[in-house]
């Protein structure tokens, strides 16, 4: 066993570059691993204004050139970005005197991760945050097939595949035909301290930017895309308003935004639904603290980090009973579960939370406690470190070592 475990993580997004949930996941995981005595190097894409090389909370971050080549489409860009990432990461590994493990996050860095594994003959781990099959409910085009095949190749080449929920473990096992002993479930986490940072904000004053004092805030945070179920929430709006005076605050961007906002206008409810677009972290956290209910109506959800964040902010949650959300939320104990894709069921869940104060307080306290006990980065980083150590023990007995 090496004296100090050296791990190189590959990810296409890392703060300040935030596209989805991978960025905060890699940030918190790498930082907690560093606190836990692991030497972590993160190799990621460049971002305007971010330094090429820096220390971030004990983690050494290298940003590689990913923009210089004009690309006809996203797939070509990913391919070229991987070429650059592999080439530059290989140089970093040499200058660092080697690493023990490569850890790739999702298909977007598969080529680089697999290449580095073979160049240096070191174990590769992969965290599958999602799958193309799950996002699209099947594989329907050559483009989707390319992503699916890249994911399959990554899971094949990886020594272990980490998934953030039991649902994802069984989904990934089925989609890629993986053996049981190759898969590990380690949940995602949330940093509760982040919600205590802005304690000095006057939340009543802040709240007025989004809703009238007499309106309850129903909050949705996420990409405005089909699999996140945002259309289900919009269809539930009139049903909720029959019973409660509420304002629906929808945070995020996505291709469905225009059609949804036109639909809201056509039914005369523009004054009740606010599309904010992307908001900064401080605004988002304060919104989560102000929300009378946070809604996660996803149709496909590998994990559901937004639900966890809402629970950390002490906002009661209503979630689809699907995927990872089913495991995060215990119905009637830490939140309310509703049928996926069903606006009536969603409206029932939202009004239930908004109309029963005692019930809501109980959900809120239970959920907060659950986050502290189970979805804590300290525990998660220890579980990840254990996987690294197991893999290295197995590796030491092979001809590669």
Instruction: Calculate the alpha carbon distances from 175 to 75, 151, 396 in Å.
Output: 21, 10, 30
> CA 319, 347, 303 angle in degrees (round to 5)?
10
- The 8 Å CB, 24+ separation contacts for 66-75 are 66/12, 75/143, 75/146, 75/147
Instruction: Calculate the alpha carbon distances from 157 to 161, 355, 371, 391 in Å.
Output: 10, 52, 33, 14
Q: According to the 3-state scheme, what is the secondary structure of 339-354? A: CCCCHHHHHHHHHHHH
pLDDT per residue over 143-181, tens digit each? 999 999 999 999 999 999 999 999 999 999 999 999 999
Place of tokens 């479930």: 185
pLDDT score for 66: 85
**Rounded CA separation 191/196 (Å):** 10
Work out the number of other CB atoms within 10 angstroms of the CB of residue 8: 26
Q: Do 137 and 284 belong together in one domain? A: no
- DSSP letters for 253-317: --TTHHHHHHHHHHTT-GGGEEEEES--HHHHHHHHHH-SEEEE--SS-SS-HHHHHHHHTT--E
pLDDT score for 193: 85
Task: Report which DSSP code applies to 210.
Answer: T
Residue 313 lies in a domain: yes
Q: Do 221 and 274 belong together in one domain? A: yes
Q: Do 200 and 310 belong together in one domain? A: yes
Q: Contact, 283 vs 291, CB < 8 A?
A: no
**Rounded CA separation 106/126 (Å):** 7
Q: Do 243 and 144 belong together in one domain? A: no
Supply the CATH number for residue 238's domain.
Answer: 3.40.50.2000
Q: Do 150 and 172 belong together in one domain? A: yes
pLDDT score for 303: 84
Q: Do 128 and 262 belong together in one domain? A: no
Residue 31 lies in a domain: yes
Residue 392 lies in a domain: yes
Backbone angles phi, psi at 107, to 5 degrees: -65, -25
Task: Tell me the two tokens of residue 118.
Answer: 């073979």
Our count of domains for the chain comes to 2
Residue 106 lies in a domain: yes
Domain that holds residue 185: 6-189+376-396
Q: Do 30 and 162 belong together in one domain? A: yes
Task: Tell me the two tokens of residue 10.
Answer: 């590959």
Q: Which strand (E) or helix (H) includes residue 103? A: strand 101-105
pLDDT score for 67: 65
Q: Contact, 113 vs 104, CB < 8 A?
A: yes
Q: Do 217 and 258 belong together in one domain? A: yes
Q: Do 218 and 367 belong together in one domain? A: yes
Q: Do 78 and 173 belong together in one domain? A: yes
pLDDT score for 113: 98
**Rounded CA separation 1/356 (Å):** 56
Residue 1 lies in a domain: no
Q: Do 99 and 169 belong together in one domain? A: yes
Task: Tell me the two tokens of residue 123.
Answer: 């174990």
pLDDT score for 35: 96
Residue 401 lies in a domain: no
Parts of the chain with a pLDDT under 70: 1-2, 67, 198-200
Please list the helix, strand and coil fractions of the chain in percent, rounded to the nearest 5, in that order.
50, 15, 35
pLDDT score for 202: 87
Q: Is 171 exposed, middle or buried (0-12, 13-18, 19+ CB in 10 A)?
A: buried
Residue 52 lies in a domain: yes
Residue 221 lies in a domain: yes
Q: Do 220 and 341 belong together in one domain? A: yes
pLDDT per residue over 14-24, tens digit each? 999 988 789 99
């Amino acid at each position: 066993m090496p004296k100090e475990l050296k791990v190189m993580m590959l990810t296409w997004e890392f703060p300040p570059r935030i596209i989805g949930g991978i960025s905060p996941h890699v940030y918190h995981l790498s930082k907690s691993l560093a606190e836990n005595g692991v030497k972590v190097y993160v190799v990621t894409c460049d971002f305007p204004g971010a330094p090429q090389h820096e220390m971030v909370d004990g983690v050494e971050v290298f940003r590689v050139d990913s923009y210089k080549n004009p690309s006809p489409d996203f797939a070509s860009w990913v391919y070229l970005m991987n070429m650059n990432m592999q080439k530059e990461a290989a140089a970093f590994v040499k200058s660092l005197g080697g690493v023990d493990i490569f850890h790739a996050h999702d298909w977007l860095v598969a080529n680089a991760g697999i290449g580095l594994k073979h160049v240096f003959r070191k174990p590769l781990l992969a965290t599958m945050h999602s799958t193309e099959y799950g996002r699209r409910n099947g594989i329907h085009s050559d483009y989707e097939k390319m992503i699916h095949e890249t994911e399959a190749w990554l899971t094949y080449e990886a020594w272990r595949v980490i998934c953030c929920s039991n649902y994802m473990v069984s989904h990934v096992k089925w989609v890629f035909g993986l053996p049981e002993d190759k898969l590990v479930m380690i949940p995602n986490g949330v940093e509760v301290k982040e919600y205590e940072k802005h304690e000095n904000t006057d939340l009543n004053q802040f709240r007025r930017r989004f809703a009238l004092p007499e309106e309850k805030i129903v909050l949705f945070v996420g990409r405005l895309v089909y699999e996140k179920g945002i259309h289900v929430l919009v269809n539930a709006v009139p049903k909720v308003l029959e019973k409660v005076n509420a304002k629906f605050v929808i945070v995020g961007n996505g291709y469905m935004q225009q059609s949804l906002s036109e639909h809201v206008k056509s039914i005369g409810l523009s004054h009740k639904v606010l599309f904010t677009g992307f908001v900064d972290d401080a605004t988002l956290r304060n919104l989560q603290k102000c929300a009378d209910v946070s809604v996660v109506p996803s149709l496909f959800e590998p994990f559901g980090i937004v639900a966890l964040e809402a629970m950390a902010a002490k906002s009661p949650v209503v979630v689809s009973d699907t995927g990872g959300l089913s495991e995060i939320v215990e119905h009637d104990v830490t939140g309310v579960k509703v049928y996926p894709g069903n606006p009536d069921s969603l409206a029932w869940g939202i009004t239930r939370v908004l109309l029963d104060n005692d019930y809501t307080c109980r959900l809120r306290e239970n959920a907060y406690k659950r986050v502290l006990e189970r979805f804590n980065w300290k525990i998660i980083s220890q579980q990840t470190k254990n996987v690294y150590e197991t893999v290295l023990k197995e590796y030491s007995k092979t001809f590669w070592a």
